[in-house]
Structure 1
Amino acid sequence: MTTSDTSPPAEVDERTVRKAVGAAAMGNLVEWFDYGIYSYVVLYITLNLIPGGDAGNAGPGYAFAIFAVAYLVRPFGGIILGPLGDRIGRKKVLALTIVVMSAASFCIGLLPTYAAVGFLAPLLLILLRMVQGFATGGEYGGAAAFIAEYAPDRRRGFYCSFLELGTTGGFVLAAGLVTALEFGLTDEAMTSWGWRVPFLIAGPLGLVGLYLRSKLEDTPAFRELEEKAQLSESPLRDVLTKHWRPMIICIGLVLFYNVAVYTILFYMPDYLQTTTGLEATTALLYILGMMVVIMIVIIPVGALSDRIGRKPLILASCVGFIVLSYPAFLMLDTGTVLGTVGGLLVLGLLLVLLLGTMSATLPALFDTDVRYGGFSIGYNISTSIFGGTAPAILTFLVTSTGNNAFPGVYVAVAAVISLGAVLALRESAGKPLPGAGFTTSRAASPSAVR
C-alpha cells in the first residue's frame, strides 16, 4: 500500500539525523569489513582450505567459486529479512544481520585446514559463506532505507553517500589490516596463521556495530506507519504484485553497479597478483590507494547529486564504463606503475559516481511500507546473478582466453545491458520519498533540482 496521509509532517532535528547516519554507516563499515576480508586473503584460503590449493593453478578459481556460493543465498536473505524489516522495523533486522555476519566471519578464522580434516574444511567454509550471504541479503537494503528515511529530501544524496563511505571504509580497513600483517609477518607465518587474524577481529568489531545500532530509534517514516497501523500485512506479496516495475528497474541498475563493484574492489587484488605478477603486498597497496581516493571523493559526489540530480551522474558512469573499461584494463595489463595507477584511477573515478549516488537512488524507487523488502529483493537477485559471480567468471575468462584485458569487456557489456534501466530511471533528487510524511528541521537545500 502507499501512504497518502495529508496530516502535517513530523520534524526530525538535524542532530538526530547525523547521529542516525553516522551509526548506520559505522555499522555498515563493520559488516563490509567482514565481507571484504575474504577477497584480500583468498590466496591464503586457497593454500589452507582448498584441495590442490596451488595458487598458481586452479586454486584461486575454486576459492572465488566458494566466494560466489554466498550469493546463491543472498536473494533468500533479501526475501526473508527485507519484508521482515517492513513488518517489525529496520533497526531490529539490521541488528540481527550484523550479529550473524560477524559470528560467521569469526568462525572462518577458526576453520581447520584441508591437511587436517580433508574435504570437511572447504565444506565448512561453504556453509559459513552461505550464512554470511544470508545475513548480507538483509544488510545493504536496510541500511540504505534507514539513512534515506532519516535524511532530508534536499540533502539525501549527501547523507546517503556516508553509507558507501562506510562500505568503502570497511574494505580499506580489511585491506589495510591484511597489508600490515603481510609487512609484519614472514610468508610462512602469514600462510600458516596470519590470514586468520582479520576474521577473528570481526567478532569484537561486530559487537561494536551492534552497540551502535542498538542506540538508534527506528526511522520516522516507519514509526509513523506503525503508529497509524498502516504497515503492509504482507510486504512480500505487495512487492511482487504492486511494485514489480520499480523492482525491475532496481535489478537493471544494480546489474552494472555490482559488476563494477565486485570487479574493482573484490576481484582486483587477485587480478593484480596472478595476472600482472605484482607481489601481494604491492597489489594491496595499489588497491588501498584507489579506495582512499574514492573515500575522499564520495561525499562531494553525493552532495553534487543533490544539486544536479542522480541520473546525470549514473548515466555518465554507465557510458564511461562502456567506453573506458577495456582501455583501463589494457593499462593495468602493462604491469607498470603508470599503467596500474592510470587504470585504477579511471575505474575508481567511474565507480565513485555510482557509490555516491546509488544509496540515495534505489530507496526512492519504493514506497515506505515495502521499501526494505523491495530494495533487498531486487538488489540481491541482481547481485546474486551478476555481482557475486563476477570474480569467478572473470578468472575463468582470463584463463581460457589468455586476454588479460577481458574483464574490461565484461564490465562494458554489463553497462550496455543496464543502460535501458538508467534511461528509464526517474529523477528523485530534491523530492520526498514515496510515502514519506516527515521533514528534517534546519536542513537547508543547496539548490533546487529542476
Structure 2
Amino acid sequence: MRTQQAQRGTQTRRAAAASVIGTTIEWYDFFLYNTAAALIFPAVFFPESSSYAGAMQSFATYAVGFAARPIGAAIFGYWGDRIGRKATLISTLLLMGISSGIIGVLPGTASIGILAPLALVALRLLQGVAVGGEWSGSVLLAMEWGDQRRRGLLASFAQIGVPTGLVLGTGGLTLLSALLPAEAFDSWGWRVPFLASFVLVAVGLVIRLRILETPMFAAVVATQRTSRSPVTEVVRHHWREILLSAGLRFSEQMPFYLFTSFVLVYAVEERGLSKTFVLNAVLVAAAVELVTIPWFSQLSDRLGRKRVYVSGAVLVGLLAFPYFAVLQYASAAAIFVMVIVSMVPHAMQYGPQAALIGESFPTHLRYGGAGLGYQLASVFAGGPAPLLATWLLHATGTPFSISVYIVLAAVVTVVCVRLLPDRSRADISDDSVYLRKR
C-alpha cells in the first residue's frame, strides 16, 4: 500500500511538471506570435499597408489562430477520450513546435511576395489547432492524477504555463530588442526565439514520455466505457456545459489579450512609449501571475470555484474604465503599474478556471468537452479582441469604447458562472453523477 502511494505521488509530481512544462512550451510559441504580430509582422509581411491597415492585417492573422482552436479541441478531444491523454499531448506538442520553428525561417513579403503572408496564416492555423488540443489534456493530466481535494491547485499547473510562456516569449523578444540594433532586430533578430522552439519541443517530449496514463481514464478503459464518438456524444448530452464554459471565459480571455497584445500597439503608437518599455511592463505582469494563479487556485479549493471566479470577473468590469484612463492620460510609471495590476483579476479567474471547466464533464468525455468549452471562447472573445479594439479606437476616437466592450464581457461571464453547477467538492472520478443527468 505504501509503495503504491509512493508511486502515485511520483506520478502526480511528474504529471504536474509535464503539465507546466508542456503548456509553457505551447504558450511560449503562441504568445511569441502575438507579440510579433503587434511589433514585427506588419512591416515584414504587410509592408505596403498604412500603420492602421498593417496592424489590422497582422491582428487578422493573429485571430486566425484562435478560430482554429475549437477545431483542434474537436480533433484532439476525439483522440484524448479514445486513446488517452498522454499520446494525444505528445502530438499537440510536436505540431506546435514545428509550426513555430518554421515561422523563424519564413521569408518576408519583400522576398516571396504574397506567398509570405499566406504561409504565415497557414502556420498560425496549425498553431491554433495545436493549442486547441493541448489545454484540456494538460489540465486533466495533473487533475486526474492528484488529490481530488486539491483539484483547483493541481489543475492550475497547466494555467501557470501561460504566464511562464508569456515571460519566455515576450522576454526573449525584449532581450533581443534591447541588445540588438533596431535594424538587426527587425531583419533577423526576431526570428531567433521562433527557432528556439525546436529545442524546447525536444525537452518537452522527454518529460511527457515518462508520464503514465491518468488513473481515472485508465479505469474508463479497463471497464470498456470509452465512447465510440466522444465529441459527438459530449455535444449532444453536454452542450449546455460547453456553452457556459465558453461564456464564463469572456471576462478572462478577452481583456487578457487586450492587456498583453493590444496594449503594445496602443502605448507605442498613441503615447509614444518605447517597445522595450511596454514589453517590460507585460513581462513583469506575467511574472506576478506565476504567484497569483496558484494562490487563487488553492483559494478556490477552500472557498469554492464560483465564488473566487465571479469576484475576478467583477473586478475586471470595475477596472475597465480606470485602465484606459491611465493609458490615455497618466505618466509612463502609472501605465507600467496599471499593466501589472490588470493581471490580478485575470489570475483570479484563470487559476480556478481549469478545474471549474474540467469538473463539468464526465471522465470518458472530459478531454473533448472541456477542450471545446474552453476553446470555443477563442472564436468570440480572445481572437477578435485586438482586432475589434483597433477598430473601435479608430471608429470612435476614444479608448473608452473598448472599456464598454470589457464591461459587457464581464456581464456575460457572471451570468454564465451563476448558471453552471459548482462541483468543487464533488467526486469526479465517478461518472454516475453525470450519467444521471441524461
TM-score (norm 1): 0.91
Alignment partner of 2:225 out of 224, 230, 234: 230
1:335 is displaced (CA, Å) by 4.6
CA shift in 2, pair 1:276/1:409, >3 Å: farther
SS at match of 2:359: helix
Partners of 1:197 and 1:268 lie apart in 2 by 23
Tell me the alpha carbon deviations over residues 29-87 of structure 1, each in whole angstroms, 9 at most, x when there is no partner.
Answer: 01100001012222211111124155x33212210111011222222111111121100
Partners of 1:57 and 1:312 lie apart in 2 by 41
1:320 counterpart = 2:315: yes
Alignment of structure 1 residues 160-309 onto 2, 5 Å: 160-309=155-304
Unaligned segments of structure 2, at least 5 residues: 433-438
Partners of 1:79 and 1:319 lie apart in 2 by 31
Percent identical across equivalent pairs? 33
Equivalent residue number for residue 63 of structure 1: 58
The 8 Å contact of residues 252 and 421 in structure 1, kept in 2 or not, is answered as yes
The 8 Å contact of residues 153 and 429 in structure 1, kept in 2 or not, is answered as no
Q: Alignment RMSD, CA only?
A: 1.7
1:180 is displaced (CA, Å) by 0.6
Alignment of structure 1 residues 285-434 onto 2, 5 Å: 285-433=280-428
1:14 counterpart = 2:14: no
Residue identity opposite 2:394 in structure 1:
T
1:131 counterpart = 2:126: yes
The 8 Å contact of residues 156 and 294 in structure 2, kept in 1 or not, is answered as yes
Equivalent residue number for residue 22 of structure 2: 27
SS at match of 2:342: helix
Residue identity opposite 2:148 in structure 1:
D
Equivalent residue number for residue 147 of structure 2: 152
Partners of 2:263 and 2:213 lie apart in 1 by 37
Residue identity opposite 1:88 in structure 2:
I
Higher relative contact order (CA 8 A, sep 6+): 1
Residue identity opposite 1:44 in structure 2:
I
Partners of 1:433 and 1:336 lie apart in 2 by 49
Tell me the alpha carbon deviations over residues 249-305 of structure 1, each in whole angstroms, 9 at most, x when there is no partner.
Answer: 112112332112222233332232223321000010111111111112222111111
TM-score (norm 2): 0.93
1:436 is displaced (CA, Å) by 6.3
Q: What is the total number of aligned residue pairs between the two structures?
A: 427
Unaligned segments of structure 1, at least 5 residues: 1-9, 438-450
Residue identity opposite 2:305 in structure 1:
R
Equivalent residue number for residue 436 of structure 2: none
The 8 Å contact of residues 267 and 278 in structure 2, kept in 1 or not, is answered as yes
Alignment partner of 1:44 out of 40, 44, 57: 40
Partners of 2:429 and 2:269 lie apart in 1 by 47
1:425 is displaced (CA, Å) by 2.5
1:99 is displaced (CA, Å) by 0.3
Residue identity opposite 1:354 in structure 2:
Q
Equivalent residue number for residue 71 of structure 2: 76
Equivalent residue number for residue 444 of structure 1: none
CA shift in 2, pair 1:229/1:206, >3 Å: same
